[in-house]
Amino acid sequence: MTRTSIGIDLGTTYSLAAIVQDGRPVVLPNALGELLTPSAVSLGDDGTMLVGAVARARATTHPTRTARSFKRDMGTARAIPLADRTFSAPELSAMVLAQLKRDAEATLGRTVDEAVVTVPAYFGDAQRQATRDAGAIAGLVVERIINEPTAAALAYGLHERHREMRAVVIDLGGGTFDVTVLEILEGMIEIQASAGDTQLGGDDFDTALAELVAQGLEAERAGVRAHPQGWARLLDACEAAKRRLSDAELTRVALPELPVGEGRTIQLERPVTRDQAEQAWRPLLERMKLPIQRALRDAQLRADQVDEVLIVGGSTRMPCIAKLATQLFGRLPLRSLPPDEAIVLGAAVQAALKAGDAALDDLVITDVAPFSLGVDTGARIGREVVHGLFSPILERGTVIPASRERTFHTLADGQRAINFGVYQGEHSLVRDNTKLGEYTIRGLAPLPAGEQAVHVRFTYDLNGILEVDMTLDKTGRTESLVIEGSASRLGPAQLKAARAAMARLKFHPREALPNATLLARADALFVELTGRPRSVLGAALAQFRLALEGQDPAEIAQGRAALARFVESLRDARS
């Protein structure tokens, strides 16, 4: 039986799903008819789970019951609170993936079984494992994980497959930043280097702008920062201002009755120019330069040897990103694909390639390891032994899948065990790198120092998943490393329990999401308004809620359309 596989861009701010139809990737709409599904989850007052646009709209009105940007916590042990409950980042991500799965199935009219899911190129082993866990909890087989800039390159290369060129993909999403250097040659897309920052994205630009606006609050600044609803409203307003500044030189941030703690509110209204915003963003733009420069060094290229610069990710709509790319490469960047959609289009192409789509049989892509991977070792210097040194086995930039081996020897006479810690990173001391796990080989023969050798082999696959084999030279005994130390890695029993817990959750009915989303968006706008517009919106909300109680489909549809038009007109007036 043929299984249906889709591509999914599981983003920090927005997520999308796509499939290849007639040789071309197509983004699939969600229950609202929109292509972008916010990566947000909210716990309703009645205990139902709300996912997507409705949850995002509740972030300003119900901040303690709503979670966003949890992608940054993938691979960590952080428990994310929603009211009186807590969830892990994989569990919240699974809810987004499950919503995308349901929406795709409704559009395609058939069951979706598998997905190719994208991750930032700089995601490590723990984060990639957490992503696979999220897919499993959502009921998806995620056999292939692809780096986000690689996916964008694949979407771009689909249109440029007969062109010879070197290109750089700059990918700035809501929560992560990646840069990838690639070469396209006769249908072959070869990734040559990747670098990035998993803690840099559009969210940080929102925060920097919010801090700029909050500087004018003087004594109330700390109160706004500490007040969940006040800070959520300020961040939301600054994100909207950031978007407006992409097209305008001047905008204003206006927040009536902004909570500042201890039951006090203030009236905030401040004009912000694009120059002021870009000054506040300067440290973030400087941080972007370092991964770009390192990727070029790893690819052994100068900026003037790059033929094209492709910018993807919703945050690249900011003019300062295009300006930075132009300064670094001396050429205007390309936006030949929609920034929000480029990654998921490439994920869909990868899913079709995996399924053997004949329309793509002349397209081939390779990828590289974004990190160096190695073990902690010691070195004898005179009579002393220095421990905690990092010995790379598989260097960053290695074309994957790859397998590399190094041989290590005992340091002490009669040594009966060797402990290997596995790390990813680029520093000479393991304490400065990221630990993936450890394993101890026991039962060594009591031989003089240096006479017992262990061959350590690292195998790194296309999903960025690492396997470690250790073979004793004297006996030929091989032991494999199972990384137990990752806080996010779930075993079979834990995955089964997580899937069962997911099945017990009560999700808001898909067919009712347009009504719930409109109500949440209108409620969020009601908080921001004052005077007559607020009163009129309140009356319109009451009228629509009355129609919902009546349960007449025609009346509900008519009321939803009227309220949606009114909300849109109020938003336009505020903008």
Overall average pLDDT of the 127-133 stretch: 91
Q: Are residues 472 and 535 in the same domain?
A: no
Closest among 179, 178, 172 to 281, alpha carbons compared = 172
Q: 409-465, pLDDT tens digit by residue?
A: 988 888 888 888 999 889 999 999 988 888 888 888 888 888 888 999 999 887 777
Whole-number pLDDT of residue 462 = 78
CATH number of the domain that residue 378 is part of: 2.60.34.10
Among residues 481, 513, 538, the one where a domain terminates is: 481
Please give the share of the chain, as a percent, with pLDDT higher than 70: 94
Looking at the domain assignment, is residue 227 inside a domain?
no
Which of residues 450, 481, 512 is at a domain's end? 481
pLDDT band at 374 (very low <50, low <70, confident <90, very high): very high
Per DSSP bridges, beta strands 399-400 and 434-442 are unpaired
Using CA of residue 232, residue 234, residue 240, residue 246, what is the dihedral sign? Answer: negative
Nearest Cα to Cα of residue 159 among 338, 7, 356: 338
Place of tokens 């007036």: 573
Domain assignment present for residue 548? The answer is yes
Looking only at the bridges linking them, the beta strands covering 188-197 and 364-368 are parallel
pLDDT at 232: 87
User: Is 73 tagged catalytic?
Assistant: no
Question: Is 127 among the domain residues?
Answer: no
- Residue 282 pLDDT > 70, yes or no? yes
DSSP 332: P
Strand 40-43 with 49-51, pairing:
antiparallel
* 211 domain-assigned: no
The neighbouring-strand residues paired with 312 are 171
pLDDT category of residue 118 using cuts at 50, 70 and 90:
very high
Residue 361's pLDDT band, with cuts at 50, 70 and 90, is low
Q: b/e per residue, 303-339, with b = 16+ CB within 10 A?
A: eeebebbbbbbbbbbbebbbebbeebbeeebbeebeb
Q: How far apart are the first and last CA of the chain?
A: 52
Whether 197 contacts 291, CB under 8 Å: yes
Residue 157, pLDDT > 50, answer: yes
Catalytic residue among 71, 178, 197, 204: 71
Go through 356-384 and write b for each residue having 16 or more CB atoms within 10 A of its CB, e for each that does not: eeeebeebebbbbbbbbbbbbbeeeeeee
Residue 458 and residue 394 in one domain? yes
Q: Phi then psi for 91, rounded to 5 degrees? A: -65, -45
- Give the pLDDT confidence score for residue 2 in this predicted structure: 62
CB-based contact 264:223 (threshold 8 Å): yes
Cβ 424 vs Cβ 376: under 8 Å: no
Does residue 12 lie in a domain region? no
Tokens of 314: 């919703």
User: What's the pLDDT score for residue 485?
Assistant: 44
The tally of domains found in the chain comes to: 2
Amino acid at 464: G
Q: Determine the pLDDT at residue 326.
A: 96
Is 278 marked active-site?
no
pLDDT of 220 strictly over 60: no
- E strand or H helix at 127: helix 125-137
User: Is 314 a residue whose pLDDT tops 80?
Assistant: yes
Residues 383 and 471 in one domain: yes
Q: Please tell me the predicted confidence (pLDDT) of residue 94.
A: 96
pTM of the model: 0.85
Residue 405 lies in a domain: yes
> Is 171 noted as a catalytic residue in this protein?
yes
Note the pLDDT of residue 484.
Answer: 47
152 inside domain:
no
In 3-state terms, what secondary structure has residue 556?
Answer: helix
Q: In one letter, which amino acid is 372? A: S
Is residue 389 within 8 Å of 429, Cβ to Cβ? yes
Mean of the pLDDT values across residues 270-289?
96
Q: Is 442 found in the same domain as 534?
A: no
If asked whether residues 455 and 533 sit together in one domain, one would say: no
Q: Using a CB cutoff of 8 Å and minimum separation of 24, what contacts does 447-451 make?
A: 447/410, 447/413, 447/414, 447/415, 447/474, 448/413, 448/414, 449/380, 449/409, 449/410, 449/411, 449/412, 449/413, 449/415, 450/409, 450/410, 450/411, 451/409, 451/410
**Quick one: pLDDT at residue 508?**
85
Cβ atoms of 537 and 529 closer than 8 Å: yes
Rounded to the nearest 10 degrees, how much is the dihedral formed by the CA atoms of 12, 14, 19, 20?
-90
Question: Are residues 464 and 386 located together in one domain of the fold?
Answer: yes
Q: What is the pLDDT of residues 449-491, one digit of tens each?
A: 888 889 999 998 877 778 899 998 888 888 887 554 454 567 7
Residues 278-286 have a mean pLDDT of 97
Instruction: Determine the structural domain holding residue 435 and report its residue range.
Output: 373-481
Q: What is the pLDDT of residue 344?
A: 96
Distances (CA, A) of 32 to 96, 104, 233, 352, 518: 15, 12, 24, 26, 10
Average pLDDT score over residue span 530-557: 88
Q: Which of 371, 555, 551 is nearest to 464 (CA)?
A: 371
β strands within 120-263, DSSP E:
141-147, 165-172, 177-185, 188-197, 250-261
475 plus 537 within the same structural domain: no
Q: Among residues 133, 171, 340, 341, which one is catalytic?
A: 171
Which is higher by pLDDT, 125 or 535? 535
- Considering the candidates 148, 178, 220, 239, report the single residue annotated as catalytic: 148
Pick from 198, 172, 107, 100: nearest CA to 142: 100
pLDDT for the residue numbered 217: 67
pLDDT for position 366: 78
Is the pLDDT assigned to residue 221 strictly greater than 60?
no
pLDDT tens per residue, range 31-52: 999 999 999 999 998 889 999 9
pLDDT of residue 439: 86
d(CA 472, CA 554): 75
Active site residue 204: no
Instruction: Tell me, yes or no, whether 377 and 477 share the same domain.
Output: yes
Domain match, 462 and 558 both: no
Mean pLDDT, residues 116-131: 88
Give me the half-sphere count of Cα atoms (radius 13 Å) on the Cβ side of residue 233: 27
Which of residues 251 and 510 earns the better pLDDT score? 251
Asked if residues 176 and 198 have their Cβ atoms less than 8 Å apart, the reply is yes
Tens of pLDDT, residues 322-360:
999 999 999 999 888 889 999 999 999 999 888 776 656
| Domain closes at, from 413, 446, 481 | 481
Distance between CA atoms of 173 and 322, rounded to whole angstroms?
14
User: For residue 256, what pLDDT band results from cuts at 50, 70 and 90?
Assistant: confident
418 is a domain residue: yes
Q: Does 471 share its domain with 547?
A: no
Residue 101 or residue 380, greater confidence: 101
Share the mean pLDDT of the chain: 88
Which residues make beta-bridge pairs with 391? 375
Over residues 488-513, the mean pLDDT reads 83
Q: Is the model's pLDDT at 571 over the cut of 60?
A: yes
| Residue 223: predicted pLDDT | 64
Portion of the chain with pLDDT greater than 90, in percent: 49
pLDDT tens figures, 172-217:
999 899 999 988 887 778 889 988 898 899 999 999 999 998 886 6
**H helical segments located in 249-377:** 274-280, 282-299, 319-329, 342-354
